[in-house]
Structure 1
Amino acid sequence: MRRARPRLAVAEVLPSPLNTLPFRGTMPSGRWGRIGAMVANSSYLDFTSYGTIPASVTDPATAYGLTNTQPVTGNAHITVAVVLNRANDPTALLNADWGTRQATLAQMQANGTLWTTYGADTGTFNTVKTQLGGIGTVLGDETGTGGYVTSAASRTIWVSLDAAGFQTLFGTPLMKGAAFGGAYEQLYWNGDLSLPASIASSTAGLWFDYGMDPATSALTSSTVALPQGAQSPGNQSTSATELYPQDIAALYNFPLSGPAHQTGTLALIEIGIGDALNPTIPGPSFQSRLQAYLATAGVPGSGAYYVQNSANERYNADNADERSLDVGVVSAIVPNSLIGLYVGSGDTVYTAYQTAIWDQQNNPAVISSSWSDGLSFAPGSPFATAYRELFVDAALRGISVFNDAFDGGSGNETGTGLTNLFTGSMSSYAMVVGGTSVSTLAAAQTDSTLAGVVLAAQQGDLATLWQMVRGGLTAWPVGAGQLEPFIETVWNQYVLSGSRLFPGYGENFATSGGVDTTQATPGYQTAFGLTPTDADPSHGVGRGAPDVSALSQGNMGYLLPGSNMLGVYPNGGTSAATPFWAALATEFNAIFKDQGLPNLGYSNDLYYIAAAIAPASFNDITAGNNVSTFIPGSTYTSPQLGGISATGLGYAAGQGYDLTTGLGSPNGLLLARALSSIAHAELYYDLTPVLENAGAPSSGASAGWSSTADQSLLFQSSLSHAGEWSLSLGSATYSFAGNAASPYAWTSALAQQSLQSDFSPTLVTLFDGYGQGQIVQTGVAAGTPLALSVSGTPATSHQAALTADYGFVDFVSGDGLSSVEVARPLAVATTANGANDADAVVRLRQNGVNDVSVMFYKVADYAGTVDGLAPGQAGYAEAAAAHAYSTISGQTTVSGSGYGAYSQTELAHVNAGDLIAMKLTSNGETYWAFASGNETVNGQHVAHLWSYGLNTWGWEDLYGGGDHDYNDLIVQLDFTSASGSHLLV
């Protein structure tokens, strides 16, 4: 396994304001003869070691234990980027919905205003560039010559400074000292930097092209005893599975078969290595070796690639191993993609990022990085601003960035005793990827930590199978195929035997993940209802990481080329999971292009919306942890670190989003369908949300909700225990003695998972007959205030901003165990590109024994009227039949295929914005999506339909409400997958 970065440990940073650097005083500025402005938070330790040493330590020489310290003299040079202010702040645009963002960026790019708006002022750029050229040597240009991008659009001017130039520009001498007993010489400076006032007023950030570890020391003395044995389940198989990347992609249901499709350009950050090979081992070219690997893997493809800044590459076995890993993963999954290897200056990851982002010749649509500059820059520092703004540039350039979470567990191989992240890579404009371990049944059977799970599953234990299905299980586990995924857990291979950790906390054997408390929680996470909180709550909340995850290693590994691109060996880490996700995004872009959509670009919000409205898009990993925090000590021995003591801080997997695996691992096809649906909806439709909150819609407040239209609404209670829930509509309040939902009542995730053609009918019928809670359906007038309570306490909705446009809002009790969903019983036809006369895919999964069929018909409004007739009125059935859709084979009804079976067809002639309702026929009885058209029990019309998320519903097929399981026929309408070349059908 490879380190996911140069060996640098890091904390994290907040971006500075985009106007000017804060000043703390003035001083003469050398040869300029002007007053210089002190730059706040610009000390050397602000650059390298925020949060990794006590705040009381301010002297770099003390922090690093440097000896023989003295000013630098002679011809030594250091290179710095001066990053200027943007002409305008793009935050509002980037916080807009994806559709608005993409349309605006495309228009600005087309009319040539994008970078005059969001780059530097051209006059200011030229002035500062001239001034810097008088102090040192300006490097690079807009093409990134030499690994340095200098341009008004990037707002960056790179300048090489000798010792005299450093003091002239920054008002302080450049220092040096001997580190690690003289093993190497370290450059630094004392105190804060200053800049000439004329430059400072235009400057937002600074970055030094100088790689360095942070200084570290123990920040806690609280230790814990670790349990003996494996520290996390699912990573200890004695018969681990080893597969080529494209075969692992198939396990995750990737939507495209790589060799059959042309995919776009994908950039890999390969600092300092590029395509360099070991010069002492003669052999064929890198291209030939790559093609040989693909041939061995059985993948037809060109293996086309290019190197940016190849003059800066040099062979290093560690970097080469990482390079070969990245190239092997993406080339095997998307072999028709052009792969770019970005070397940058060869000294920091920053320059490799920047040259990839600003490559306007190859224009990569996706960037994957398994490297991070490991410095821990301070919040509000110019270094933090410079680094963060790189990813803003990527977002404005329409590039999707995937960064790895790293492989050092919660401690990130940094001996402070606290949790750590490489926060330079934690930008909210990048997708952060965590790691899992995937066990086949064969691997699980030889993993002692999974013995109980294997036994329970094979004995048909419902609780075990229920959780495994949510984790992605699609096949009955008894006699499952040798390569069938059985269970996915957090990647954590640490094992304690006696007092010895092996592998140890100083090695890459567990996914990192946690909370970057130095930046705010991104809007897409708060909209998802998250408040990511550090393992030590006193450290606060912030940006949660990772966002998503995928196989890293453990009980399954990737078969990849060796460091010199020769041979095939098992490898992995989040370094593999990250290009794996980048390859998937490249497939998404190919699908989007086929459907007439723009590239995904910056699209983190779309993934969180997909998780909210189509949860089957992600496999939910619920077992394992990433605990690995430590300080120097004598309790345990750890290879590479020697004696350590454990502090026990970290994170565990759990249901839903967690700080080890994020939203989960992908179901590639289901995620592609969800992203496609969301993208078309945001670009081409102004959807009417089911509810709105005039007060604070993003807060999920219990008050202030109202109906947006005259509409029929479903109120679906899912209570953890029997109890009262109430609904307030206007001045009236209705109370219900709610029944507890069965623990195995179907969820949106299960309903959507069942609509896969290869989903086991045995798993479908296993969970038949488990009742939901209570369902009430009624008409609600536009503007009617609405509130819900569970057990007398107001229920709140924290995902309404993500789901309301898609026809439902979940109101959750204070303890999070009960909910009431408010949903529409019909679909809005958000056809691809807003097209009329389109085909819509219909997917059915039958879980009832009766013969059933469903008719789809067009209604005039959200209340379900047809030709002026409301559901239940005389003549409604005839009117509905007259507006029925036909399938592409000419049928006006679609039948289920039998108990447990899956079927699929397409409706023809669907127009953009059509409102589509359903009628079910079962056992000679007819049931409508609108309860007012159905039979009555105890004087109340019976609702037969239950909402299961994105255009997905479940029917109860028995008169009077039957067993209330609402899964006798699961129905889904998909309005975009049939567009283009039908890649998602």
Structure 2
Amino acid sequence: MATKHPLPGSERNVERGSKLIGDCDPSEKIEVFVMLRRQQQAQFDALMSRIEAGDPNVKPLSREAMAKDYGAAPDDVAKVKAFAAAHGLTVVREDLAARSVLLSGTVAQFQSAFEVKLEKYQHHTSGEFRGRTGAVNVPDDLHDVVEAVLGLDNRPQARPHFRIRPPFRPAKTHQASFTPLQLASLYKFPQGDGSGQCVGIIELGGGYDPADLKSYFASLGVPSPTVKSVSVDQARNEPTGDPNGPDGEVTLDIEIVGAIVPGATIAVYFAPNSDAGFIDAVSRAVHDTVNKPSVISISWGGPESIWTSQSLKAFNSVLQTAAALGVTVCAASGDSGSSDGANGGDNVDFPAASPYVLACGGTSLTASGTSITHEVVWNDGPQGGAGGGGVSGAFALPAWQEGLSVALSAGGKKPLAKRGVPDVAGDASPLTGYTVLVGGTQTVVGGTSAVAPLWAALIARINAAKGAPAGFVNPKLYKAAGVCNDITQGNNGSFAASKGWDACTGLGSPNGQKVAAAL
């Protein structure tokens, strides 16, 4: 047998607070997917640097051209298939465009193939999961071919970023909630219903009840949009009936997008909550040649520090593909302030931290009639939640953020040295949140989860009006002065709001018409 070497970046540690229960059943059937290198990487990098510089002459690639020029090489796929056959593993799916091969086999077969030990763990918040420690090993002939091996462990990787308004909060001030349409109007969204567009929504659990959607849209007086459920890795639309669980997330996302762009198709990609499921869901949405979403909204994430570097790299590479295809990806920046709920220190949330997404932070908004009277950083205290933001530990400073500085709550500023999060913001406090209908009950929800679909709906309106995708919007938004309402008050923990970009609300909340003009 060929000698095997550790796959760089695949090392896993025991998650803090987990308890080892015992070995996994060796005969248990599992699926694992292998991500492969990109063909013509140097040429792709050259294209990306033009896109990142905001070069107006670069046209988005078609999904067909992407697959042909920058997908996986057939020879590389053949090597993985030979490796699988040697270890008795079955190839379930191969996808040259998405550069992935999905393998099926028993725990024992995978342990032998990748020289790992899979064990069962129990964690107080994550429940029971299959985990591993150390690195994944691959043979010499796959060493440069394989970028990531995902799914050997299935620990929950992300959490939804939504918060339901606490019922015990007295309405002491004139804090109101808003329908998505009222926010679209306060934020001066251009007219339109998004017809001809598809918005992709990523979900890692829960589901929606069509009856909820029907009565919600009827109550707003908007036609019901076409909502399609797409199953990824055997996950599907499975509502639990608990609005406090992931159903709240799924329904919130669909209701915000659908209210603002009822003419658009909404494709909801359901995947298991693991790094493998999350990455595969986004990859399937990006490469979807049936629904062809022009915008993708992601309201799930986890602290950058809990991802393995192979997962970060593989996920970031999928997001890079989205940028090259002209697909805008909006991601929630988190609901736990500058720490992102991680133990110790400041942390940004991923995938919002990827330089290829529009990271969406949170504000708290007060309005009178048709105008905004007051908007500050969303920070409802330790129990109430605050908008995520800060400086990435993993991603370099993008060209369009060069020269910016970050304002600190303790006073003073320091130059931004790496990717700063978020890029933009919008209403996120549950105290000034969104009126939605979940499980037959009307409830008010906030969280940066609401901001990602809000921005996704804005982009869908812009795309529909223009008849072309806005694509990777970050360079254009940072170049165009004054397209956002600058938020200058408040903090999210370690970082403070300031004039211009800051690590709480980014460039600010949208002035939709100005954003449309800039794009």
Aligned counterparts of 1:82 and 1:364: Cα–Cα separation in 2: 24
| Aligned residue type for 1:255 | P
Q: Pick from 607, 619, 625 the counterpart of residue 491 of structure 2.
A: 625
Q: Which residue number in structure 2 is paired with residue 608 of structure 1?
A: 478
- Matched residue, 1:34: 2
Partner residue of 1:115 out of 61, 67, 71: 67
Counterpart position of 2:355? 428
Q: Deviations over 1:814-857 (max 9, x none)?
A: xxxxxxxxxxxxxxxxxxxxxxxxxxxxxxxxxxxxxxxxxxxx
Q: Spell out the pairing of 1:393-542 with structure 2 (5 A cutoff).
A: 393-416=321-344, 418-440=345-367, 481-494=368-381, 505=382, 507=383, 509-526=385-402, 529-531=403-405, 541-542=417-418
Whether the 8 Å contact between 1:304 and 1:339 is mirrored in structure 2 is: yes
* Aligned residue in 2 for 1:269: 202
Give the one of 127, 144, 147 matched to 1:201. Answer: 144
Residue aligning to 1:253: 188
1:573 aligns with 2:506: no
Aligned-partner residue type, residue 96 of structure 1: R
Q: RMSD of aligned C-alpha atoms?
A: 3.0
Output the CA distance in 1 between the equivalents of 2:19 and 2:334: 29
Work out the CA distance in 1 between the residues paired with 2:305 and 2:352: 11
* Corresponding position of 1:175: 119
The structure-2 alpha-carbon separation of the partners of 1:378 and 1:433, relative to structure 1 and needing over 3 Å to count, comes to: closer
In 2, the alpha carbon distance for the partners of 1:519 and 1:42 equals: 18
Letter in 1 for 2:197: G
Q: CA deviation at 1:483?
A: 4.6
Larger Rg: 1
Structure 1, unmatched stretches of 5+, are 1-32, 46-59, 142-149, 215-234, 278-285, 441-480, 495-504, 628-649, 676-985
Partner of 1:96: helix, strand, or coil? helix
The alignment partner of 1:339 has SS state of strand
Do the aligned partners of residues 365 and 68 (structure 1) sit closer, same or farther apart at CA in structure 2, a change above 3 Å counting?
closer
Question: 1:242 maps to which residue?
Answer: 177
Seen in structure 2, the aligned counterparts of structure 1 residues 101 and 126 have a Cα distance that, compared at 3 Å, is farther
Counterparts of 1:560 and 1:249, CA distance in 2: 15
Query: What is the SS of the residue equivalent to 1:406?
Result: coil
- Residue 343 in structure 1 maps to residue 270 in structure 2: yes
1:327 correspondence with 2:262: no
| Residue ranges of structure 2 left out of the alignment (5+ in a row) | 158-169
Q: 1:353 to 1:325 in 2, by over 3 A?
A: same
For residues 391-426 of structure 1, the C-alpha deviation after alignment (integer angstroms, 9 at most, x for no partner) is 11212332110000011111222232x112223332
| Contact 2:407/2:502 (<8 A) preserved | no
The reply on whether 1:312 has 2:280 as its aligned counterpart is no
Answering whether residue 371 of structure 2 is matched by residue 371 of structure 1, we say no
Tell me if the contact between 1:409 and 1:511 (Cα under 8 Å) persists in the aligned partners: yes
1:652 deviation in Å? 0.7
Shift of 1:290: 1.8
| Contact 2:32–2:149, Cα closer than 8 Å, also in 1 | yes
The 8 Å contact of residues 545 and 660 in structure 1, kept in 2 or not, is answered as yes
8 Å contact from structure 2 (residues 302, 350) kept in 1: no
| Alpha-carbon distance in 1 for matches of 2:391, 2:226 | 38
Shift of residue 153 of structure 1? 1.5
Asked whether the 8 Å contact 2:192–2:461 carries over to 1, the reply is no
* Partner-residue secondary structure (3-state), 1:173: coil
Determine helix, strand or coil for the equivalent of 1:372. Answer: strand
Counterpart position of 2:40: 88
Change (3 A) 1:136 1:423: farther
| Alignment partners' CA distance in 1, 2:81 and 2:408 | 42
**Deviation by residue 1:428-461 (Cα, 9 ceiling, x = unmatched):** 1100000101112xxxxxxxxxxxxxxxxxxxxx
Return the alpha-carbon distance in structure 1 between the equivalents of residues 116 and 52 of structure 2. Answer: 45
1:658: how far off?
0.3
423-432 vs 481-490, greater mean Cα deviation:
481-490
Which protein, 1 or 2, shows the higher relative CO under an 8 Å CA cutoff with sep ≥ 6?
A: 2
CA distance in 1, matches of 2:117, 2:192: 58
TM-score (normalizing by structure 1): 0.47
Cα displacement (A) at 1:659: 0.3
> Following TM superposition, by how much is the alpha carbon of 1:606 offset from its aligned partner in structure 2, in angstroms?
1.1
Instruction: Give the structure 2 partner of residue 291 of structure 1.
Output: 214
Letter in 2 for 1:484: S
Offset at residue 375 of structure 1 (A): 6.9
Asked whether the equivalents of residues 303 and 347 of structure 2 are also in contact (C-alpha less than 8 Å), the reply is no
In structure 2, the CA distance between the partners of 1:625 and 1:431, relative to structure 1 (3 Å rule), is same
Aligned-partner residue type, residue 199 of structure 2: L
Assess if the C-alpha contact under 8 Å between 1:515 and 1:533 holds in 2: no
| 8 Å Cα contact 2:340-2:347 kept in structure 1 | yes
Return the letter of the residue paired with 2:142. I
Equivalent position SS for 1:419: coil
Residues 179 and 552 of structure 1: is their aligned pair in 2 closer, same or farther, counting only changes over 3 Å?
closer
Q: Which one-letter code corresponds to 1:350 in the other structure? A: I
Asked whether the 8 Å contact 2:407–2:414 carries over to 1, the reply is no
Which letter does structure 1 place at the counterpart of 2:417?
A: V
1:166 aligns with 2:42: no
The residue type paired with residue 195 of structure 2 is Q
- Aligned-pair identity (%): 28
Distance 2:59 2:27 in 1: 45
| Pair 1:353–1:188, CA change in 2 (3 A) | same
Deviations 1:648-672 (A, max 9, x none): xx11101110000000111111221
Q: Tell me if the contact between 1:400 and 1:600 (Cα under 8 Å) persists in the aligned partners.
A: yes
Q: Given the superposition, is the C-alpha separation of residues 163 and 538 from structure 1 closer, same or farther in structure 2, using an over 3 Å criterion?
A: farther
Aligned to 1:389: 317
Are residues 371 and 359 of structure 1, via their aligned partners in 2, closer, same or farther at CA, if it must alter by over 3 Å? same
Q: Structure 1: which amino acid aligns with 2:182? A: D
Does residue 547 of structure 1 match 2:423? Answer: yes
Q: TM-score, normalised by structure 2?
A: 0.87
Please state whether the residue corresponding to 1:392 is helix, strand or coil. helix
**Which amino acid in the other structure matches residue 168 of structure 1?**
S
Question: Structure 1 609/131 Cα, relative in aligned 2: closer, same or farther at 3 Å?
Answer: same
Structure 1 residues 604-657: Cα deviation after superposition (integer angstroms, max 9, x where no partner):
11111123xxx2x11110001111xxxxxxxxxxxxxxxxxxxxxx11101110
Following the alignment from structure 1 to structure 2, what is the Cα–Cα distance between the partners of residues 162 and 538? Answer: 51
Residue 349 of structure 1 deviates from its aligned partner by: 2.3
SS of the aligned residue for 2:300 comes to coil
When residues 309 and 667 of structure 1 are mapped into structure 2, their CA distance, relative to the original with a 3 A threshold, is: same
